[in-house]
Amino acid sequence: MTERTLIILKPDAVQRQLLGRVVSRFEEKGLKIAAAKFMRICEPLARRHYAVHEGKPFFQAAVKYLSSGPVLVMVLEADNVITMTRKLMGKTFGNEAEPGTIRGDFAGSKGLNLVHGSDSPETAAYEIGLYFKPEEIVSYDLAAQPWL
Ligand code: UDP
Ligand code: MG
């Protein structure tokens, strides 16, 4: 079934000038970009983004990190896009993520992991709503679709 997910190329991806290479991983997999926005996430928005983690020991650090600089926020659309993007991203920490994954190839620490991706259809719907109005999500046919 066609799904949507919210992907964020986090502040370290911008500062390390890896946006193109990370976006390429998603494009190469054949995932359709349905929306994109370059922006700065303020602390209150980061807190809403990580609301499920409120009370956990890393909550404040995760909020600080996400709001520490500009980010690229995207909605990707494809069948099973949530599972696929989580696999492409790799495990949460770069020092544990498998080579071949985005985090495994580009992140090496426990702190900074370059990319966020929704982990379920429910979180995706909540997270997409934090960043995009319905009319900002673009509906179109991907030319490559019949070949994917
Ligand atoms: N995080 C952290 N320490 C932890 C767990 C998470 O710093 O022990 C940060 C990390 O940046 C992670 C984010 O909080 O990406 C959200 O955590 P989650 O468990 O949702 O990981 P993800 O879904 O990003 O893989
Ligand atoms: Mg998560």
Residue 34 lies in a domain: yes
Q: Residue 62 C-alpha to ligand 2 middle, in angstroms?
A: 10
Residue whose CB lies within 8 A of the most ligand 1 atoms, among 56, 86, 92, 120, for a mutation test: 92
Task: Say yes or no: CB of residue 120 within 6 Å of ligand 1.
Answer: no
Question: What number does the ligand 1 atom closest to the CA of 92 have?
Answer: 25
143 is a domain residue = no
Q: Is the CB of 109 under 6 A from ligand 1?
A: no
Q: Is the CB of 118 under 6 A from ligand 1?
A: no
| Cα 17 from Cα 73, distance rounded (Å) | 15
**Atom 17 in ligand 1: residue holding the nearest Cα:** 92
Q: Would you write out the chain's pLDDT as a tens digit for each of its 148 residues?
A: 899 999 999 999 999 999 999 999 999 999 999 999 999 999 999 999 999 999 999 999 999 999 999 999 999 999 999 999 999 999 999 999 999 999 999 999 998 999 999 999 999 999 999 999 999 999 999 999 999 9
Q: Does residue 146 belong to any structural domain of this protein?
A: no
pTM above 0.85, yes or no: yes
Return the residue whose CA atom lies nearest to atom 3 of ligand 1. Answer: 58
Q: Is residue 141 part of a domain?
A: no
The answer to whether residue 140 sits within a structural domain is no
Q: What is the pLDDT of residue 40?
A: 98
The pLDDT, as a whole number, for residue 88 is 98
Domain membership of residue 97 as a residue range: 2-134
- CATH number at 6 reads 3.30.70.141
pLDDT (0 to 100) of residue 111: 86
* 100 is a domain residue: yes
Residue ranges in the chain assigned as alpha helix (H): 11-15, 19-28, 43-49, 59-66, 81-89, 102-106, 121-131
Has residue 26 been placed in a domain?
Answer: yes
How many independent structural domains does the chain possess? 1
* CA gap 69, 122 in Å, rounded: 27
| Assigned domain for 51 exists | yes
